Structure 1
Amino acid sequence: MTTIPPEDARPSGNEPHKARQMAESFGVDAERYDRTRPAYPDAMVERIAAASPGPDVLDVGCGTGIEARQFQAVGCKVLGVEPDARMADFARRGGLEVEVARFEDWDPAGRTFDAVIAGTAWHWVDPVAGAAQAARVLRPGGRLAAFNHVFEPPPAAAEAFAAVFRRVLPDLPINAQPPRPAMDLYQAMFTKAADGIREVGGFSEPEQWHFPWERSYTRDEWLDQLPTIGLLTRCPPDKLAEVLDGVGAVIDTLGGSFTMTYTTVALTATRTTPA
């Protein structure tokens, strides 16, 4: 079982893109989000860039610019589209050009791109309307790549973290679900995105690229990141404090740190015909 449910396991069920308040809540502390959220594997960034026909990249739901900066570092020219003006302002301060809009409603003004990427953001986009918009702005041979971190702490820690969420936030829908491996929880999200791409047409068969890695967290490091998850960005301060106290106590029993196992999964397809 995961430390926290994936970003799409929300009250909106199988349609997280309709949960606009949550989707646009991450800018409540953009500096913390940028500081604590992990970057993406360099091998993934390099593979996506190499598999695209050119350097022009559109970053959907660019947030504070975490993945955009990584693509810029390998020679890409990146334009961000972000619905939360607070996140967009932070990204601009880091040198990224950003336009504020929901991707489905964004006006490309005739511009086209070699790649459309989305880092931990595509589940907030309508899977069909988003794929159709990507098809409109991708050049033939252009690549759509939506990627997420699938993460899992050690089993004993996962169970203890989940117990904290059940105790403090008992009404979370995820609490009613039986424990499952993290990849199983995320697979439904990847499947829905792939189905949207297939429904739109004009793309190659979607495939998944997997990039495993690990990261060790101290107590302070994990508690710094935890308030940035969608379940907690709008949590009442007293409940958030309870969650942090409970999770911190668990990490203390582990010796003050733990190792998170990550697999970053990129769902990707190539634009095979012009729009």
Structure 2
Amino acid sequence: MPILDGGTAPQPAAGTGEPHRRRDMAESFGDDAELYDRARPRYPVELIEAVVAAAPGREVLDVGCGTGIVARQLQASGCGVLGVEVDERMAVYARSTGVEVEVSAFESWDPAGRTFDGLVAGMTWHWVDPVAGAAKAVQVLRPGGLFAVFWYVLQPPAELGAAFADVLRDVLPDNPAAGRSATSPLGAYEHFLDRTADSLGPAFTDIRRPTFPWSRTYTRDEWLDQLRTSGIAKPLADAGKLDAVLDRTGTAIDAAGSTFTLDSTAVALFATRN
């Protein structure tokens, strides 16, 4: 989750430079699926509209669908959506909200001959092996189909973002995420966008990178809830320091007036299947 979800990006496995090898982290988000679904931001309406407009039809595959946040937004726009999700706990929650889900890692998922007008992945493509994922995308997309992966970048006001970063540095000084400033997160996502574009190969054309600005006001408790669902939460909990970070982050928000507004951006990579 650039800097995502409370000021940290998904970290690569030691020595690999590849987040998809961090299966422990990738499969940790279902610990509290209800909290995850409630706390995670929804995607900008303009992004969902752009996906629907660019796809040649309304049958969409949602890779790493989680609790079904993207899927439900697409369903509300008239799409039929099938989710693929590696975590059974997340899949159970998504099904309870009306999303059809099959449990599998995308790289090993069997589409059984099914193809789709669009493939989407919201905040999840970094957990997919880029080479195997691109090959599977070619397999499941119809000619002219849309490949659309995207991330939201949470950008607190600069002073508050710096305070969040200070908390992480103090509590987890040896963690790479803790040493990264939370005030300029957008550039960190360039790695994911570059890696994805480089992996697609000749089967895809018209590769583009639209961005979608969005804003949301957070209360103290809302921000702490999303922090509990973020990529940094697991290493913090494993180190026995999650409660300390939550407490100090809450104190920083209280000092800023108990609420704040993120003027943030969703970044995407769209491509068309030949």
When the two structures are superposed, what TM-score results if normalisation uses the length of structure 2? 0.94
2-structure distance, mates of 1:133, 1:65: 21
Partner of 2:41: 38
Letter in 1 for 2:137: A
Counterpart mapping for 1:75-224 below 5 A:
75-177=78-180, 181-198=184-201, 201-224=202-225
**Secondary structure of the structure 2 residue equivalent to 1:215:** strand
Letter in 2 for 1:14: G
Which stretch shifts more, 34-43 or 230-239? 230-239
Aligned length: 270
Q: Check whether the contact 2:224–2:250 (CA below 8 A) recurs between aligned residues.
A: yes
Partner of 1:26: 29
1-structure distance, mates of 2:34, 2:16: 29
1-structure distance, mates of 2:142, 2:30: 31
2:264 to 241, 262, 265: 262
Partner of 2:250: 248
1-structure distance, mates of 2:85, 2:11: 18
What are structure 2's unaligned runs of at least 5 residues? Answer: none
Compared CA separation, residues 47 and 136, structure 1 to 2 (3 A)? same
Instruction: Show CA shifts across 1:94-149 (max 9, x none).
Output: 11111100000000000000000001000000111101101111000000000100
When the two structures are superposed, what TM-score results if normalisation uses the length of structure 1? 0.93
Letter in 2 for 1:257: T
- Displacement of 1:175 in angstroms is 3.3
1-structure distance, mates of 2:53, 2:165: 39
Which stretch shifts more, 62-71 or 176-185? 176-185
Instruction: Show CA shifts across 1:149-180 (max 9, x none).
Output: 01211111111101111111222112345677
Please report the RMSD computed on the Cα atoms of aligned residues, expressed in angstroms.
Answer: 1.7
Compared CA separation, residues 225 and 15, structure 1 to 2 (3 A)? same
**Secondary structure of the structure 1 residue equivalent to 2:215:** strand
- Displacement of 1:260 in angstroms is 1.2
1-structure distance, mates of 2:234, 2:9: 14
Which stretch shifts more, 221-230 or 237-246? 237-246
What are structure 1's unaligned runs of at least 5 residues? Answer: none
- Displacement of 1:13 in angstroms is 5.4
Which stretch shifts more, 259-268 or 235-244? 235-244
Q: Check whether the contact 2:130–2:195 (CA below 8 A) recurs between aligned residues.
A: yes
- Displacement of 1:258 in angstroms is 1.2
Partner of 1:233: 234
Which stretch shifts more, 161-170 or 79-88? 161-170
Compared CA separation, residues 12 and 90, structure 1 to 2 (3 A)? farther
Compared CA separation, residues 13 and 245, structure 1 to 2 (3 A)? farther
Percent identity of paired positions between Structure 1 and Structure 2 = 53
Compared CA separation, residues 271 and 13, structure 1 to 2 (3 A)? same
Q: Check whether the contact 2:30–2:87 (CA below 8 A) recurs between aligned residues.
A: yes
- Displacement of 1:7 in angstroms is 2.7
1-structure distance, mates of 2:198, 2:150: 16
**Secondary structure of the structure 1 residue equivalent to 2:35:** helix
